[in-house]
Structure 1
Amino acid sequence: MLQIRELVFDAWGRRFFDEASVSLPKDAKVGLVGRNGAGKSTLFKLILGQLTIGGGEISLPKAARIGSVDQEHPATPVSLLDTVLEADVERAGLLAELETAPPERMGEIYARLIEIDADRAPSRAAEILSGLGFSNADLARPMAEFSGGWRMRVALAAALFAEPDLLLLDEPTNYLDLEGALWLEARLRKYPHSAVIISHDREILNNSCDHILYLNQGKLELYTGGYDSFEAQRSEKLRLQEATRAKIEAQRAHMQAFVDRFRYKASKATQAQSRLKMIAKLPPISAVLREHTADFVLPSPDRPLAPPLLRVEGGSVGYGGPPILKNLNLRLDVDDRIGLLGVNGAGKSTFAKLVAGALNLDEGELVRSPRMRAGWFHQHQIEALDPDDTPLDIIRRILPEETEAKRRSRLAQFGLGHEKVETKVANLSGGERARLLLNLVAMEAPHLLILDEPTNHLDIDSRRALLDALNDYEGAVILITHDRSLMELVADRLWLAADGTITPFDGDMEDYARYVLERARAAARAPTQVAAPPPPPKPEPVKRAKVPSGPARRRAEAAEAALAKATETLARIDAALTDPDIFAKNPAKAADLGRQRDAAQAALAKAEAEWLEAAEAYEAIRES
């Protein structure tokens, strides 16, 4: 599908691709992985033609369509459903052409609309939007009413709906909650064409991808299987490379020792020269460079507190208006590892603020251990950092009594070397800022860590380092994350935020995944709340004076009855067409209903004309 041959690209004082080549199979689902800054997003820009290659070639089949999600969808007055439907450019163009097409062209248009399954498009769009967290009531709302994060979901929905031949997704789960990530994972498995996904989410890379494309030191290597398979293959390849290198180096040393011993001895000179030639022909095997990832420093509390750390009874909490969460009856103990589940907007962050002490209960009782220290990380802290600050400036304010050497040493423990400590926050990567804040939050050895989406900017190796640190940490943890792997390996209890409260969830992450997908399917099956065009109103009954009956009156009454019947027929067909199930389960019937609607519309127009003519004739007789 995608061919890259000897790609060379230099920018910003470095070489991103050095004669890199790869060929991606047709309809493959490929996870693009590599360290932060390796050039993954740059490769997408090269494929899309947004950057100019320095050498080599990137090619796709002729007329192949490429789709990507570059930015949030603009805030327009167009409805959510219509915005997504417009992403299918061919369908939208055919429907627009249908309005003015000459009769001889209309047959071709209808045939093509049937071929691309255009009748099922609203149902398919509604299903995608439902999976990404939109309600049926949202479908008729204008785009301008949605926040930037939700408009990013719309852009993703539009890309999935359009089904391009090559779909490029750059960290698609960063603006999704866990429920959206679970749905996307299942959706990508069924995607009918090729897709390349940049992701640090192991579950998506394992469950949705059948190939892994590894970008390292300017080269591209394609591996078959998911991420776990890639790691095993990569590890074995490095082991064999190291073993081969050790063997060749031993052979080189052995022959060099012979040369050094006998090269000046006449009787052995020929053998020595022969060995020198053999040494020159030995293939160079580069040393295996192990990529190092700095550890996270999450010190455990020095002494445990008496349980519970926190208890809420009959609690309600909000922001001055109606409560966001109510009927809270929960207990948190000193060694609890809680995974907090729920869709965006269900109240997870509100609960995190309550536990962290940033919000007070409106009603009920909250008992908190008076000596409890809580460390609270949330993703908005990254956005709130002063772009002109440096890590050294930040830690100076936090540790005013420490020496400069100790502050720099502490930052080095966080994984920020001497070249980064005086770099402005604006010039640090998202991963470096997240790493800095996560370590600062835990610096005082809190009894409770509250982590709200801690992995958004971390690569896979950094996520593994965070997992190791959390498993070594001996305090309590409340974890909110769309990273299913982290949730599974850290949390030993699950709480679910839903229906305005938080309750324990009886099951594990596999059970929750099934629950989410079942709910998405049920929502997709529900009739949409986008109003269908209302049926034409029944005409006002003609007020007739008491006149002798005659042919004109009977004709007017018959025309009125025919008009009412035609109106009811059209309304019944429109009601049937609003059911999304008919498009999904019986497209042939849906197409037939579409043809029936055209005929019913024509019959209604004819009945209206006949009724007007008959009514006017009858009125004329009455007034004569």
Structure 2
Amino acid sequence: MSTAHISTSTVHTISTALPNIDPLFVDYTAGISALGLANRGYIDDPSATADEHSVAEALADVAAILLDAGGDPHAVQSLCTSLQSRLLARLAAHTPHNTLTRLDSTVHVGAQHHLSSALALVTGPIDLDALTGRRVESKVDRRKLEKAERKIATKLEKKTIKADYQASKLLDPQKSYEEFYMAVNPLQLGNSGQGISKDIKLESIDLSFVGLKILTEASLTLAYGRRYGLVGRNGIGKSTLLRALSRRELAVPTHISILHVEQELSGDDTLAIQAVLDADVWRKHLLLEQSKTNNRLSELDPLLADPASAPSSLVREHQDLDSRLVDIQNKLAEMDSDGAESRAASILAGLGFSQEKQTNPTRSFSGGWRMRLALARALFCNPDLLLLDEPSNMLDVPSIAFLAKYLQTYKSTVLVVSHDRDFLNETVTDIIYQHSERLDAYKGNFSQFYATKEERTRQAIREYEAQMGYRKHLQQFIDKFRYNAAKSSEAQSRIKKLEKLPILEPPERKILTTFKFPDAEKISMPILQMSNVTFGYSPHQIILKKVDIDVQMDSRIGVIGPNGSGKTTLLKLLTEMLEPSSGLVSRHPRLRIAYFAQHHVDSLDLSVSAVTFMSKRWPGKNEEEYRKHLGNFGISGMLGLQQMSTLSGGQKSRVAFACLGLLNPHILVLDEPTNHLDMDAMDALMDACRTFTGGVILVSHDVTFLASVCNQLWLCSNDCVSKFDGTIKDYQKLVTDNADDAGVVKMPIK
């Protein structure tokens, strides 16, 4: 029986059972399954006998790969059960008797294999023994088969537990927001948990995502009132940890309220400020209960005018309602319900919502503004544990400054995932570093963490290398004098010393992340210019007017300004995605522009792998060339063959940058390129932009990135684009100095 036969048959079976798995992954899995069986002695081995245990092990490997590729756990289990029965039947049919027979002539095994594969494609499974006149009865023991099936089921169950995390916990909750909020944060009347510690201490955390280990026996301690930054490279599982906490999949005490800003608010006719007020579900619920209770008490008061003659049941009901009303009013006072509307308006203003916008329906806002609304709702609810995932991605410089200032006085616990170093330095009191399936705690902001971590790493490397050198020295002496009578006692002494040495784990080596764009072809000037350009969606809705800008091959231009000022519109005019209402945009006839959109994920087909996507969009290379190109942007190993829906946000961004490289551009136009990138990737992108031989024009709110890459700043404000004389730090200081307590910039920036 041939590997080709099993592989071809398995490809068809897997594709039918799991149609959403990327074809490249199906081929790879089929090959692995055939090779796995071959390595266990089942295929192409005339002396092999059917061993159900090894078949179960091989299929468990296949199951793990399919689950990692995003396969449905139940479909994978059914598929493996079907494959097991077929493989065991085929293998048993090819199992020879336990006697050796001398061959009369040489058998060309390869020819038989090709014949088996070719016939199988036309007629289905072929029994070559029957064709040659020798029929062997199946030797499969039914009881052993059932035992092997149970082993597969057990292994798959373990894998399914991991994969189910994706299906049951990472998908959007089926319940409405109100139901989900009340389920995650049960209301506690009476003492309301007062006097109970709100510190969180979790031990022995095990967390997985689609078969990939995120945390193993990790511990997490969050002291109430401190602000923690969660950092780590892309794909390490930071967002997975936040989601597990927000859904109480980890044992967070129930008296601690949790809120997670994860997805944008869905739009409807609800006004923005009302959407924020409604976010505190229990406040809304308690106000309704208070109204109902007061109404019922009003109905009972006339009936209890003479308590002596009133029915005892009504008296008890009145007493119970009185007691409940006190609890409700105490809880509302604890929530500061009376000041809720002014607090909501202040938060919205700080996040860039004018008074007019606060009274607009939520459906009128774009995705970025709806994300701000989601953040405003979370801040308004004031939970005991606030979880933020890359909050600065959706904010401009004034709003980031407001959020940092707001969190500095936040009285509860904050756990924020961010790669914005300035934001972390201004906001957090502690850093939690996620790596190697564990969580390490550091005191201080990001700069302090980085310095401490580097020193810890250097110390660990020194200790490890010193011990390895000492071990080597002892071992050399032992090897030299072990059998020397005069030195045997000394050799034995060193053997004991060697055995007593603690075993040190090799220190984690920093993975060097590099991005590399291809060198730009030289073209003559002018390259890209805008002359007296005006753009508006109507004569009464002008976005930009009288814009003059010149982009050269050595340009490093940063476009800054508040959200809604026309920065993205400017980039779209440069890339011909929009046409100006008046004025001229001139481009060199051979100019190639690579545009990185703020919502770049929309341009990727997440149902296939990065290699498959690139080969369809930019054909002409082989698989190895695409994988090598992806490697230039940190997508290495199996990531290039993995379904893109299973990649993290930062890994999808890396794929998008790799796609830009295939265009061989002269000019890079980047809209918020640092969103979702980890700090190593940001450093790599900064280096790539600085060393790129073409021009760069970008929009970003990341102060570190702008300061590192750009030598020119252009400010979008009041429908105009003008050169800003100063650094990004100067601009940051300007908007901060001219903002009131709510974060609203009083003085228009010119």
Q: What TM-score bracket applies, with the shorter chain setting the length?
A: 0.7 to 0.9
Cα-to-partner distance string for 1:351-406 (whole Å, 9 max, x where unaligned)? 11111122222212334344433221113342122334443344435654555554
Q: Is the 8 Å Cα contact of residues 593 and 669 (structure 2) preserved in structure 1?
A: yes
Cα-to-partner distance string for 1:134-161 (whole Å, 9 max, x where unaligned)? 1111222233333443222212111111
Match runs of 1:425-444 below 5 Å: 425-444=644-663
Matched residue SS, 1:267 = coil
> What is the match of residue 638 of structure 2?
419
> What is the match of residue 175 of structure 1?
394
Please state if 1:487 is matched with 2:685: no
Cα-to-partner distance string for 1:467-499 (whole Å, 9 max, x where unaligned)? 111111233211112322212211222212222
Matched residue SS, 2:638 = coil
Match runs of 1:277-316 below 5 Å: 277-303=496-522, 305-306=524-525, 308-316=526-534
> What is the match of residue 542 of structure 2?
323
Out of 243, 250, 262, the residue aligned to residue 70 of structure 1 is 262
Match runs of 1:577-588 below 5 Å: none
* Amino acid in the other structure paired with 1:310: L
- The structure-2 alpha-carbon separation of the partners of 1:456 and 1:239, relative to structure 1 and needing over 3 Å to count, comes to same
Matched residue SS, 1:86 = helix
Distance 1:333 1:393 in 2: 34
Ranked by relative contact order (alpha carbons within 8 Å, sequence separation 6 or more), the top structure is 1
> What is the match of residue 534 of structure 1?
none
Matched residue SS, 1:324 = strand
Shift, 1:170, TM fit? 1.6
- The structure-2 alpha-carbon separation of the partners of 1:24 and 1:134, relative to structure 1 and needing over 3 Å to count, comes to same
Shift, 1:298, TM fit? 1.7
Q: Is the 8 Å Cα contact of residues 352 and 744 (structure 2) preserved in structure 1?
A: no
Please state if 1:48 is matched with 2:246: yes
**How many residue pairs were aligned?**
520
- The structure-2 alpha-carbon separation of the partners of 1:510 and 1:120, relative to structure 1 and needing over 3 Å to count, comes to farther
- The structure-2 alpha-carbon separation of the partners of 1:497 and 1:34, relative to structure 1 and needing over 3 Å to count, comes to same
Out of 7, 32, 35, the residue aligned to residue 233 of structure 2 is 35
Which is worse superposed, 80-89 or 416-425?
416-425
Please state if 1:122 is matched with 2:320: no
Q: Is the 8 Å Cα contact of residues 297 and 443 (structure 1) preserved in structure 2?
A: no
> What is the match of residue 448 of structure 1?
667
> What is the match of residue 470 of structure 1?
689
- The structure-2 alpha-carbon separation of the partners of 1:18 and 1:392, relative to structure 1 and needing over 3 Å to count, comes to closer
Shift, 1:450, TM fit? 0.6
Matched residue SS, 2:452 = helix
Q: Which structure 2 residue ranges, 5 or more long, are not aligned?
A: 1-198, 299-321
Matched residue SS, 1:464 = helix
> What is the match of residue 22 of structure 1?
220
Please state if 1:238 is matched with 2:457: yes
Shift, 1:30, TM fit? 0.5
Distance 2:403 2:478 in 1: 63
Shift, 1:427, TM fit? 3.9
Query: How much identity, in percent, do the aligned residues show?
Result: 37
Which is worse superposed, 447-456 or 178-187?
178-187
> What is the match of residue 185 of structure 1?
404
Which is worse superposed, 484-493 or 390-399?
390-399
- The structure-2 alpha-carbon separation of the partners of 1:91 and 1:526, relative to structure 1 and needing over 3 Å to count, comes to farther
Distance 1:109 1:197 in 2: 32
Out of 239, 242, 267, the residue aligned to residue 486 of structure 2 is 267
* Amino acid in the other structure paired with 1:140: T
> What is the match of residue 571 of structure 1?
none
Shift, 1:282, TM fit? 0.5
Q: Is the 8 Å Cα contact of residues 241 and 285 (structure 1) preserved in structure 2?
A: no
Match runs of 1:194-593 below 5 Å: 194-303=413-522, 305-306=524-525, 308-319=526-537, 322-397=541-616, 400-402=619-621, 405-417=624-636, 419-518=638-737, 520-521=739-740
Q: Is the 8 Å Cα contact of residues 261 and 378 (structure 2) preserved in structure 1?
A: yes
Q: Is the 8 Å Cα contact of residues 334 and 475 (structure 1) preserved in structure 2?
A: yes
* Amino acid in the other structure paired with 1:166: L
Q: Is the 8 Å Cα contact of residues 185 and 208 (structure 1) preserved in structure 2?
A: yes
Matched residue SS, 1:323 = strand
Please state if 1:2 is matched with 2:219: no
Q: Is the 8 Å Cα contact of residues 398 and 745 (structure 2) preserved in structure 1?
A: no
Matched residue SS, 2:568 = helix
> What is the match of residue 550 of structure 1?
none
Out of 80, 83, 108, the residue aligned to residue 272 of structure 2 is 80
- The structure-2 alpha-carbon separation of the partners of 1:428 and 1:222, relative to structure 1 and needing over 3 Å to count, comes to closer
- The structure-2 alpha-carbon separation of the partners of 1:300 and 1:178, relative to structure 1 and needing over 3 Å to count, comes to farther
Shift, 1:214, TM fit? 0.9
* Amino acid in the other structure paired with 1:287: P
Shift, 1:65, TM fit? 1.9
Matched residue SS, 2:229 = strand
Distance 1:140 1:398 in 2: 44
Cα-to-partner distance string for 1:485-522 (whole Å, 9 max, x where unaligned)? 21221122221222222222233222322333455527
Matched residue SS, 2:673 = coil
* Amino acid in the other structure paired with 1:132: L
> What is the match of residue 155 of structure 1?
374
- The structure-2 alpha-carbon separation of the partners of 1:320 and 1:116, relative to structure 1 and needing over 3 Å to count, comes to closer
Matched residue SS, 1:521 = coil
- The structure-2 alpha-carbon separation of the partners of 1:388 and 1:487, relative to structure 1 and needing over 3 Å to count, comes to same
Matched residue SS, 2:486 = helix
Which is worse superposed, 478-487 or 417-426?
417-426
* Amino acid in the other structure paired with 1:69: V
Distance 1:442 1:244 in 2: 42
* Amino acid in the other structure paired with 1:240: Q
Shift, 1:178, TM fit? 4.0
Distance 1:347 1:390 in 2: 34
Q: Is the 8 Å Cα contact of residues 399 and 407 (structure 1) preserved in structure 2?
A: no
Distance 1:403 1:164 in 2: 52
Shift, 1:317, TM fit? 1.8
Shift, 1:283, TM fit? 0.9
Which is worse superposed, 137-146 or 85-94?
85-94
* Amino acid in the other structure paired with 2:458: R
Distance 1:286 1:41 in 2: 27
Matched residue SS, 2:530 = strand
> What is the match of residue 354 of structure 2?
135
- The structure-2 alpha-carbon separation of the partners of 1:207 and 1:525, relative to structure 1 and needing over 3 Å to count, comes to closer
Distance 1:86 1:394 in 2: 42
Q: Is the 8 Å Cα contact of residues 178 and 481 (structure 1) preserved in structure 2?
A: no
Distance 2:494 2:395 in 1: 62
Distance 1:478 1:393 in 2: 30
Q: Is the 8 Å Cα contact of residues 629 and 658 (structure 2) preserved in structure 1?
A: no
> What is the match of residue 591 of structure 1?
none
| TM, length-normalised to structure 2 | 0.64
Out of 187, 200, 210, the residue aligned to residue 12 of structure 1 is 210
Q: Is the 8 Å Cα contact of residues 305 and 372 (structure 1) preserved in structure 2?
A: no
Distance 1:380 1:35 in 2: 21
Shift, 1:451, TM fit? 0.2
Shift, 1:64, TM fit? 2.4
Q: Is the 8 Å Cα contact of residues 293 and 462 (structure 1) preserved in structure 2?
A: no
